[in-house]
A = this chain, B = another copy of it.
């Protein structure tokens, strides 16, 4: 979805992850990759190119292998830890939030923490509640961690590469519902997308739709459907969840006066809640209508697939929300 540079290559979202890692591992010998069965989760081609010492299959010890990555980051490496499924984040949250997020601060700036944790949300996959979490909010309340949630292959490549080069801990939320989606992705090894900047995916004057990760394509589809009826939605892809690009949101709402937020988190304490709070605090004067959150309801994710898929953000649910506002 980004402007196409000189050369591009058709990659899926998952391939973009692998290519970003490959390029950064080529560029910097201190970049390593760790995780459980990493070959299964896409990295098998990296084993052909790089020394096994930089590709670590870990035992099933989430809190510790995330912490091992952090310790390595404190001492000269730039580790990427693949936590596979986002429901396992709670297990690793102590090392992430009590150590990685705090160590630079607590040492008065003596340390830096160039650490990347990848994790993917496995919803809509009939794996039930212990595998289907979308715990985006888990890492935004504690300061010190950057959190990205790319919505397409080229963004994934550019943002993940920025994350690997960043000197702060970055959590990368992948969305398995996007893994197979292909698009043209720049091949420039220095193609980077800055962390902290949202993208306007579609301009419009009637309503702002903020989305990220897996909800962006639904927001764009909703905008197309609404356009048929003459409603012009502006679609903002947040790209980075923390630190959030509040200016992009506030500027858009200043124009449209209406806001719908599409977030697959559970409703309460969601990223959508934070966005709504920012806008009613700082953009109240421009608000003409309530802010609506399109989220997963406050109920667990069932195994039954028919029910499961009704819980997440869809084009129709966004359209319905917008129609309540205009």
A124 interface residue (CB < 8 Å to B): no
Question: How many residues of chain A get a CB closer than 8 Å to chain B's CBs?
Answer: 55
- Which residues on the B side are within 8 Å of A90 (C-beta)? 90, 93-94, 96-98
**A141 vs chain B, min Cβ distance (A):** 4
Task: Mark A247-265 against chain B: 1 for CB-CB distance below 8 A, else 0.
Answer: 0000000000000000001
A10 interface residue (CB < 8 Å to B): no
Whether B289 and A284, one on each chain, are in contact in the complex, defined by CB atoms closer than 8 angstroms, is: yes
A308 interface residue (CB < 8 Å to B): no
- Which residues on the B side are within 8 Å of A135 (C-beta)? 141-142
Within 8 A of B (CB), among A97-131: 97-98, 101-102, 105-106, 128-130
6 residue pairs, one from A and one from B, having the closest CB atoms: A284-B290, A276-B277, A273-B277, A280-B280, A90-B94, A141-B269
In Å, the complex CA distance between A305 and B298 comes to 39
Whether B269 and A280, one on each chain, are in contact in the complex, defined by CB atoms closer than 8 angstroms, is: no
Given contacts A90-B98, A130-B102, contact A274 B268 (CB under 8 A): yes
30 A-B residue pairings within 8 Å (CB atoms):
A90-B90, A90-B93, A90-B97, A101-B300, A102-B130, A102-B300, A105-B129, A105-B299, A105-B300, A106-B129, A135-B141, A135-B142, A137-B137, A137-B141, A138-B138, A140-B268, A142-B266, A143-B268, A143-B298, A268-B274, A269-B271, A272-B277, A273-B274, A277-B277, A280-B291, A281-B292, A281-B293, A282-B290, A284-B290, A285-B290
A133 interface residue (CB < 8 Å to B): yes
Given contacts A129-B106, A300-B102, contact A276 B268 (CB under 8 A): no
In Å, the complex CA distance between A96 and B90 comes to 9
Task: Mark A37-77 against chain B: 1 for CB-CB distance below 8 A, else 0.
Answer: 00000000000000000000000000100000000000000
How often does this chain occur in the complex, in copies? 2
**Given A133-B142, A273-B277, A276-B281, 14 further pairs, Cβ under 8 A:** A90-B93, A106-B129, A135-B142, A137-B137, A141-B266, A142-B266, A143-B266, A268-B274, A269-B269, A269-B273, A277-B280, A277-B293, A282-B290, A284-B289
Whether B287 and A280, one on each chain, are in contact in the complex, defined by CB atoms closer than 8 angstroms, is: yes
Whether A143 and B287, one on each chain, are in contact in the complex, defined by CB atoms closer than 8 angstroms, is: no
Task: Mark A275-316 against chain B: 1 for CB-CB distance below 8 A, else 0.
Answer: 011011110110101111100001110100000000000000
Residue of B nearest to A280 (CB): B280
Among B138, B266, B276, B290, point to the contact of A276 (Cβ < 8 A).
B276
- Which residues on the B side are within 8 Å of A97 (C-beta)? 90
Whether A300 and B106, one on each chain, are in contact in the complex, defined by CB atoms closer than 8 angstroms, is: yes
Residue of B nearest to A136 (CB): B141
Residue of B nearest to A88 (CB): B94
Residue of B nearest to A106 (CB): B129
- Which residues on the B side are within 8 Å of A35 (C-beta)? none
